[in-house]
Chains A and B, each alone.
Chain A
């Protein structure tokens, strides 16, 4: 495959079968390897789409500063795009994220502003909104409410899956900004009658839910629950157990949030086996495991890994 530039190579990722982890010959799991994107995560799709839409709308002009609240991957994708296109990027990120995320952001030239760990990404959104008021000339793309985020997945991720797997019965992805599920989910619902669209939401330790009051809760503007069939909450123990299984049994080295998604996908597969149904379950590998090595998720016992991830925004 040949592309004119790195930005042109976003998307078009492989969908690979998991012969060992699939629950049976009639119930198969398929991993969409989004770590094969230019900066190593699915967020390249949304970040590039948001930047290009803002350029089309005349919001972004050469020399502009982009501001974005992010727990990491979107920021890293934006940093790459901003570098290639000549924008300055300021990311607001919770302080309780892996060191590698900060290192990567700075490598690609982004400036990092930390938000308090308690409240997780909710706090990052709040801090970014405040900075946006102080710097009215900065452009906040705001992945949680930017239609181009979901549209990128409607235009690319969804069609890619259906083309590669015309028999797909289930689509499982992580729930963060909700962009992947809203976009690809909506496309697949429109084109594959009866498909189940299932969200796997990371369940963090208590610090991340440490809001001062319930009104500080946050539901992304993009979220439309009618797109989903259901939604599961997956804690760090199950996420780590599954991400290790994916590595040990299928050779895929994925980030921790992928473990949470795989956990939901395997559950759906086991249910299909029990019901005597056949199923082709496609799920998202959001990113590789590289930028989570320092969290210790891949070594020691599950108890140790769970303890180390407590209080971290690991997805």
Chain B
């Protein structure tokens, strides 16, 4: 299963500046593990003690994964994963 992952500016030092990368896996956790094998260290920036870090938001096809299944959210071939830092509005 191949998904497209959008990397925010702040994490692009890990991907040599690349904005959109491909990753394999049938869950978000597997996708992050796959990313970390190629971009060492990125996993730790996203996940802490088995959960997404507080100031990291991850969207699967534009829906916040915290409402889908968190780090265990299943992903399917062709899905789009967007990673963003949490920012305020108002």
CB-CB under 8 A for A210 and B9, given A218-B55, A219-B54, A229-B67: yes
User: Can you list, as one digit per residue, whether each of B31-61 has a CB less than 8 Å from chain A (1) or not (0)?
Assistant: 0000000000000010000000111110100
Distance of B64 from chain A, by nearest CB (Å): 4
Write the chain B residue with the least CB distance to A70. Answer: B90
- A144 and B88 contact, CB distance less than 8 A: yes
Number of B residues whose C-beta is below 8 Å from A? Answer: 24
Q: Is the interface of B mostly helix, strand, loop or mixed?
A: mixed
CB-CB contacts below 8 Å: B49-80 with A: 53-57, 59, 62-64, 66-68
A174 at the interface (CB under 8 A from B): yes
Interfacial chain A residues near B67, Cβ < 8 Å = 225, 228-231
Interfacial chain B residues near A215, Cβ < 8 Å = 55
Interfacial chain B residues near A255, Cβ < 8 Å = none
Interfacial chain B residues near A121, Cβ < 8 Å = 87-90
CB-CB under 8 A for A214 and B53, given A174-B89, A231-B63: yes
Can you give 28 A-B contacts (C-beta < 8 A)?
A70-B90, A71-B89, A71-B90, A120-B88, A121-B88, A121-B89, A124-B88, A125-B88, A144-B88, A144-B90, A174-B89, A177-B88, A177-B90, A201-B64, A202-B89, A206-B9, A209-B9, A214-B55, A214-B85, A217-B56, A218-B55, A218-B87, A228-B67, A229-B67, A230-B67, A231-B67, A233-B63, A233-B64
